[in-house]
Structures are given as structure tokens and as C-alpha cells.
Chains A and B, each alone.
Chain A
Amino acid sequence: MPATVAQPAPDVVPVEGLALETRRALYETMVLSRVFETETERQYKAARIGGYCHLSSGQEATTVGVVHALQPEDLLVTGYRSHGFALAKGTPPEAVMAELFGREDGCAHGRGGSMHLLDVAHGYYGGWGIVAGQLPVATGLALALVRQGKQQAVVCELGDGAVNMGAWHESLNLAALWKLPVVFLVVNNEYGMGTAVERASAEPELWKRASAHRMHGERVDGDDLDAVIEAADRLLRAAREDRTPAVLEAVTYRYRGHSVADAGLAYRTKDEIAEHQTHDPIRRVRQQLREAGIAEAELEAIDQRADERVAAAVELAIASPEPQVERLAAGMHASGSAEQFERMRLGSAYGELALTFDAGLGA
């Protein structure tokens, strides 16, 4: 699928073709993400993971490609289909799996779960659970980068369902008006829950929405790793260097349901899913590596390594302690806040004292 451009493309140098080593490393991350999601579903069915849990199998070229185009100091914000993004950004699989298990060693110490991963040290400012709610937040991160004089950019991931929210329009307008270094990555996996894009968006070519704000927009084949990297790299450079925001729509497909609770068949057919699997993004990259002379044994070793890393992550998640109930309120408020709440204890609801005021509030 060729890139289609709404506004003249920013004048930047296209990315060089991927070095073999890089392609191999990205393949490994894509496989890790797929294996992680498969194992996550298994663990969910074994009742070790609860809550809402959204898998991204099938979307790996978009996830891994865009994160590869980020500089280490660039920031990432996502919606709730976020396991792959965290892994690609460098969050250890152990910290992600432990979070899904609700354990203390999770990246949010068991307070966030699947939808609220984060890893500030790697510039990942969160998985957010309200459709389009992360867009204004990402816009604000970009504003802070500008205020701080930093040449960094923000990638804000969202799904195709988010483009009909007011927060989308408000954020795009602010980003364009204030020239903020943010790339809005629309992961179009064809369905917002069970509603096909054409049934939700009067303009189903979502990238065109950017033009309403005089913003550059384009569409890329989200299952083509090289195309994703080329586009993301180009738009991120423009964001960093010229403070030019953009919309990048990556067209991909999710193999699993909206969440693990959705079989994903009420609104699409098995044949449709199977058809998409014939051009699986991971198999594509695997074939490229094969053609570049990587031995089958080495590819199998990579797959094997991903299996082992995920198995190790599960082991650590199982071994990690549950968060202490005595620390129920930990993190909610900044240090020093316990003092402010000290005079609120009187007349509290039954049981609330120990659960809130004595449970690490402000620690």
C-alpha cells in the first residue's frame, strides 16, 4: 500500500535500508511480542491474569517499527493495547508479566495491570484506558519538551476508534496551533471493538482527518516493517527538528478479539482472519532474513530465545510477591501528603482509616 500524502511531505532525508543486524534484532522483538501475547492469553485462561486484557498479535510490524524509529530520549504514550509497545521500548518482559499478574515487581507495582503499563526510565509515559484520553496528555508532554528546549518528540498511539472523539480533534488542533513535536500514530486494525472503521467513520481514510488542522497526514502499510520505519522515522525527525506534528495511520490487523473476553468472530469471519494471516508481518520479516542468508537454525534459535524469555517472565511473575495490603494507598499522593491528610481521619467511614490513612498514603 503506497503512502498517501495529504499535505506536502516534510523535507527530510529518508531512512537508510535496515542493516541485517537491525532487521534480525527487530525480528526478535516482534517474535517476543507475539510469544508474550500468546502466553498472556494462556495465563489469562488459567486465571492468573484478570481484568481487561487486549492483545496485539498481528500488529507487530507497526508496534516494533514505530518504536524503532524513536530515539532513546523520545517519549511514548499509548492506549490500552500496550504490551508490545512496552516490550519494544525496552521494558523487561518480567516487569510487564508481573504487572499483568498484579505483583509488586510489575512496572506499576501491580496497581495498573494490562492497560496501565509504564516505564518512565525508558520514556514510556503510560498505557491509558479511556479511548482518546491519552491524546491531550501526549500533547502536554510535547508542550513540556518545547518549554524545556529539548529536541525530542512524542509518539502518541491510538486506535481507529479514537478518531471520532472530541479529544482527538482538540489535541490535533493544539499540536498544530502550537507546533508541538508529536506524532499521532493511528493503529487502524480495521475494528474498534466490533465496529468496522467504515461503520464508525464517515471519512474512513483516517489520515485525511489531519488536513482539518493543516497537519501532515499519511497512511502506511502497518504490516510492512520497512515502510513503517521509513514513515515513522521521517515524521519523527520533522517533529524533533521542525516541531512539525503529524498523523501516521498504520493499517494492520489484530488476530485476536478486542480483548481476551471477545472471541472476535461476531463481526468478522474466520476466513477473513485467515486471509490476513497469509501475509503475517513476522513471517514477512522472517522470509527477508532467510533471503538475506540467515540460516534456518539461527531463526529457530531466535524463536527459542523468545520462548525462554517469556517463560522466565512467567516464572518471575509467579515468584513476585503480591503488593502489601498495608500499602494500599501507596503512590496516590506525593511524599509529605500524609501530613495534609492527618486531620481528616476523624469520623472516617468504618474500616477506611487503616485502608487509606494508614496504608502508605503519601509514602
Chain B
Amino acid sequence: MSAVAERAQETQAASGATEVMTYREALRLALREEMARDERVFVMGEEVGVFEGAYKVTAGLMEEFGAERVRDTPIAEEGFVGAGVGAAMLGERPVVEIMTINFLLVAMDQVINHAAKIGAMFGGEVRCPLVIRTPNGAGNQLTAQHSQSFDQWFASTPGLKVVSPATPADAKGLLKAAIRDDDPVLVIENLPIYKQRGEVPLDPEFVVPIGLAQVLREGTDVTLVTHSYATVRALAAAEQLAERHGVSAEVVDLRSLRPLDVETVAASVAKTNRAVCVEEGWPTYGVTAELAARIQHACFDSLDAPVERVGMAEVPLPYAKNLELAAMPNDDRIIGAALATLGRTP
């Protein structure tokens, strides 16, 4: 067992009491705990304070910690992401909220050319412990400019760490890990998951280690490799695969995209001999493309079928509900791909 996995076991064992809460509340709990623990932690973003967050993740925090530590910003992503970079360079722990990942594009220069470069480009002389948290996701007829997932853009950039929790417990544990990390970490949340409920450890020291995937459902016939909302879809698809098709699917939730836990993926595929990689983003050059490359290399001898990929149809997402639904990586497509690895048709 690797050191990071050992540490995970220790923290899980120590975590004790849990409470059922939403993903949104779990994020809020993580922020509150970390702000209480460390004065250097502060939250900054559009509408995070008075408005209590566009998606209410920061509700109540301004009241509790004041306007200085829950800092409303103008609509100026490049400016305030960069301000987070600079503050982090002096040892602060800024947690910058970007309303949705679509808007992170206007701050791309600060994320990719600045935050991600600091450690290496300056020879390790200065660090940038910045957290950016932002939701991706589609499905609410938000159309082309507001329904995107750019996870792979960031996960392919050396110098960044990228995590993407799929459960309320991981939302808490990974956000806390990101805040405590000494490097820039992008926490990719997800709009449809904000309202999902689940058991969340109440221990303020509960942290999910960065770089460790998790098997969320055990199975023997095919491995579904997923992250973020694709994990929610895959769990539902696995249920249907068992009920309607007699197929036992294992679901590996990546949790971190960079570092990527290929070991857990490979161990699962070595067992099932088949893999379907699912993502919410466009699969061409996507997270699933990276996974397929890694799997064919690591599991060449155990694969019984080509690795399948499921993602967003490669069009700017349309508005009409029927078109949007057709474009998304829905359960039918995941099930179809899983059956295809078994030489079957739905």
C-alpha cells in the first residue's frame, strides 16, 4: 500500500461521527472549519459575501468571519484570481470562488501562466498555496457558454493540482486538503451535485488525501472510471447494468485528476479486464483520452476489449431540452458502452 493510501486509512479510521448533509453544506463546513483553524484562510469572489454565494456555498460565512475574510469582489476574474496568487505568495491561504468554470477562462492567464508556474519557474524559491473552487456542469439549459467542463485543460498543466469531488464527504475532505496544500489547487465542483446528500465526517481533521482514487462500487465485469458528476451517472448506470443486464460494474471515482491515481484504476481493470471511461466534458483530448492511454499501457495484457469512452457530444451545448439531453453523457450511453466491452448490444 502506498504512503498516501495508508494515510487515507488512518484519517478514515479517525473520523468517527458523521452527519447527512448536501455537497453544498459539506463545502461550507470545510470552509468554516479551515477559516476557524487558520487565520490565513480567506474567501474571495463575486457575490460570496452579502449575496451569500451565487450557489450559496458561502452562506453565513460573512456574518461569521466578517467582510475582510469573506471578500466580495467586482466582476474581474483576472484581477482577483491574480490577487489570490499574489496573496498566496506572501503566505496567505486565499480560497477564490469562481461562479462557474466557464468564467475561469477570463482568468486563464493568471491560473496557467502565473499560479502554475511559480514553483518551478522561480526555482522553488517561492510557493503559491492558492485554492480556486468553481463548479462545472451542464443539464439546466444553461446553453453553450455556461454548460462546459474544462477539467482536462487544467489537469494537463504541470504545476497545478486538480481535484473534483463527487460526494459530499469528498467535497469536505478534498477542499480541506486543497486549503492545507502548499501548491495551487483547483477544486472543480459541480452544479447538479450541490444538492446531493450524503454522510459527511464531522471530525475537523477529516481530510481526503490528494492523489487517491476510490472504488465506490465493487464489480467484476467492467470498470467505469469517472469523476465529478460522471460518477453520479456511473453509479446509476451500474445499478441498471446489474438489474437489467446482469452485468457487475465496478465504479472507480478518480477524486483527483492531477495527480491521477492510475494504480487504483489499473488494479480494477486488471480484475474486470474491461474499462469504460466517462466524463462530462468533450472526450477528444479529454480526461477519458488520458485514461485510455494509461489503461492500455498499464493493463495491456489484461484487456479483453478496447477501452470505451463516453462524454459530451462534441458540439457547443444547445438550449432545447431534448437536444441538451441527447448531447450529455446519459445513462443509456454509459450502459451501451459497458455492454459493448462485453460484445453485447443494449
Contact = CB atoms under 8 A, between A and B. Distances in A.
A342 B3 contact: yes
A137 B88 CA distance: 9
B246 interface: no
B81 A116 contact: no
Interface string B60-79: 00000000100001101011
A85 to B, nearest CB: 15
A171 B82 contact: yes
A300 interface: no
A70 interface: no
A48 interface: no
B298 interface: yes
Interface string A126-140: 101110010111111
B120 A118 contact: no
Contact of B211 (A111, A147, A343): A343
A173 B76 contact: yes
A144 B122 contact: no
Contacts of B144: none
Interface stretch (A22-30, A232-240, A328-336): A328-336
Nearest to B299: A347
A324 interface: no
25 contacts: A77-B86, A107-B125, A111-B120, A118-B122, A120-B125, A126-B126, A136-B78, A136-B82, A136-B86, A139-B82, A140-B82, A144-B86, A144-B87, A144-B90, A145-B90, A166-B78, A332-B124, A332-B158, A332-B159, A337-B161, A337-B183, A340-B4, A340-B161, A342-B2, A344-B261
A115 to B, nearest CB: 9
Contact of A347 (B2, B42, B293): B293
A220 B343 CA distance: 76
B205 interface: no
A77 B83 CA distance: 13
Interface string B189-216: 0000000000000000000011111000
Contacts of A336: 182
Interface residues of A, number: 58
A167 B114 contact: no
Nearest to B82: A136
B259 A140 contact: no
A135 B87 contact: no
A108 B122 contact: yes
B92 A147 contact: yes
A207 to B, nearest CB: 20
Interface string B121-158: 11111110100000000000000000000000000001
Interface string B148-178: 0000000000110100000000000000000
Given A111-B122, A125-B89, A136 B181 contact: no
Contacts of A171: 79, 82-83
A78 to B, nearest CB: 13
A344 B74 contact: no
A144 B91 contact: yes
A143 B83 contact: yes
Interface of A: 77, 106-112, 116, 118, 120, 125-126, 128-130, 133, 135-145, 147-148, 166-167, 170-171, 173-174, 177, 329-337, 339-349, 356
A110 B90 CA distance: 23
B109 A167 contact: yes
A116 B123 CA distance: 10
A329 B123 CA distance: 9
B283 interface: no
Contact of B4 (A126, A335, A339, A347): A339
A10 to B, nearest CB: 23
B266 A116 contact: no
B126 A120 contact: yes
B109 to A, nearest CB: 6
Given A137-B82, A335-B182, 14 more contacts: A109-B123, A126-B126, A130-B113, A133-B110, A136-B80, A136-B83, A137-B114, A140-B86, A145-B90, A174-B74, A174-B80, A337-B183, A340-B256, A345-B262
Most buried by B among A107, A109, A341: A341
B159 A344 contact: no
Nearest to B124: A331
A136 B85 CA distance: 8
B87 to A, nearest CB: 4
Most buried by B among A135, A335, A342, A356: A342
Given A128-B114, A137-B114, A347-B294, A340 B119 contact: no
A141 B183 contact: no
A346 B4 contact: no
Nearest 8 Cβ contacts at the A-B interface: A136-B82, A140-B86, A331-B124, A170-B79, A334-B182, A109-B123, A347-B294, A340-B211
Contact of B121 (A108, A147, A174, A335): A108
